[in-house]
Amino acid sequence: MTMMMQIRPHIAISNLMVVVGAVMLLLLQQGRWAEAQPSPGYYPSSKVSSMPFSQWYSNLWGAQHQSLSPDQTSLTLWMDRSSGSGFKSKRAYRNGYFGVSMKVQPGYTAGVNTAFYLSNNEAYPGYHDEIDVELLGTVPGEPYTLQTNVYVRGTGDAHPIVGREMRFHLWFDPAAAFHHYAVLWNPDEIVFLVDDVPVRRYQKKVEATFPEREMWAYGSVWDASDWATDGGRYRSDYRYQPFVSGFKDFKVAGCEVGAPASCSPVPAGPGGGLSAQQTAAMSWAQQRAMVYYYCQDSSKDRSNYPEC
């Protein structure tokens, strides 16, 4: 009896420590997601009106895995064992602002790739250009990864692939609410934005490493199990299907193919390029959230990346 009385307080203390640890972890996660992002001072998304989906986009594949709202302002895509789904812009562009708000699914989503990107892979198969914004699925307890990437003139078709990735663990939970993701592609730079905060600027330093040919805008949900989550360690598990992603606030502005030479690119900032305040916000995002940058990867063959 005395021994039991001695043991029980130790058990109670141990249990209390477990609870306290769990609460502290939850508070840390909430603090990370609740951390206020800095004001960029300029909001490109506010300069572009949202449009009905069907005005600029159409289904590309997996039509049976798409659901468009009656007012055409939001689109739901889902992936199951039979298929994913994707859409494509009706027009091609030579530069512009391309944005959409996305929300992904919580829980086990390993291997699932929710993507919004520019590409000309159908026009130049095997030798295409591409600018990617991808939310890569995860396992419970681990954050989603935002991957940005640039492929130029077939580097995404090469063996091995020559990618220019920058990845982030965002300062919010992308499964909790919609957030706006955008690509601003201009003749001299590409800016990736999250809720109008620039997170990456890819400048034209070497002509051969910058996409200059016309591209279309795409969105999709597909199975990227071979590489998306921890290098392919965790794969899509269809016991958790369907994997659902939402898209809304479709924004496109820029120079279409065939537009007159007088068509001006969409400015990245109030003076054309990024302002000092925008650059400071980008530095905050990279210091706070960046988890991988290809130019810092010592395993890369540097001859493939002259811009680094």
Question: Which of 35, 122, 130, 307 is flagged as catalytic?
Answer: 130
State how far the alpha carbon of 246 is from the alpha carbons of 92, 144, 183, in Å.
24, 15, 18
Q: Which of 133, 236, 259 is nearest to 191 (CA)?
A: 133
State how far the Cα of 90 lies from the Cα of 57, in Å rounded to an integer. 5
Report strand pairing: 216-223 vs 290-293.
Answer: unpaired
The tokens for 42 are 């300029």
**Where on the phi/psi map is residue 88: left (φ > 0), alpha (ψ -120 to 50), or beta?**
beta
Bridge partners (DSSP) listed for residue 220? 86, 115
Q: 207 catalytic, yes or no?
A: no
- Three-class DSSP category at 217: strand
Q: 214 catalytic, yes or no?
A: no
State how far the Cα of 84 lies from the Cα of 194, in Å rounded to an integer. 25
Question: Which of 35, 122, 134, 142 is flagged as catalytic?
Answer: 134
State how far the Cα of 256 lies from the Cα of 308, in Å rounded to an integer. 31
State how far the alpha carbon of 211 is from the alpha carbons of 57, 66, 241, 256, 303, in Å.
22, 30, 36, 15, 19
**Where on the phi/psi map is residue 131: left (φ > 0), alpha (ψ -120 to 50), or beta?**
beta
Point out the residues that are catalytic.
130, 134
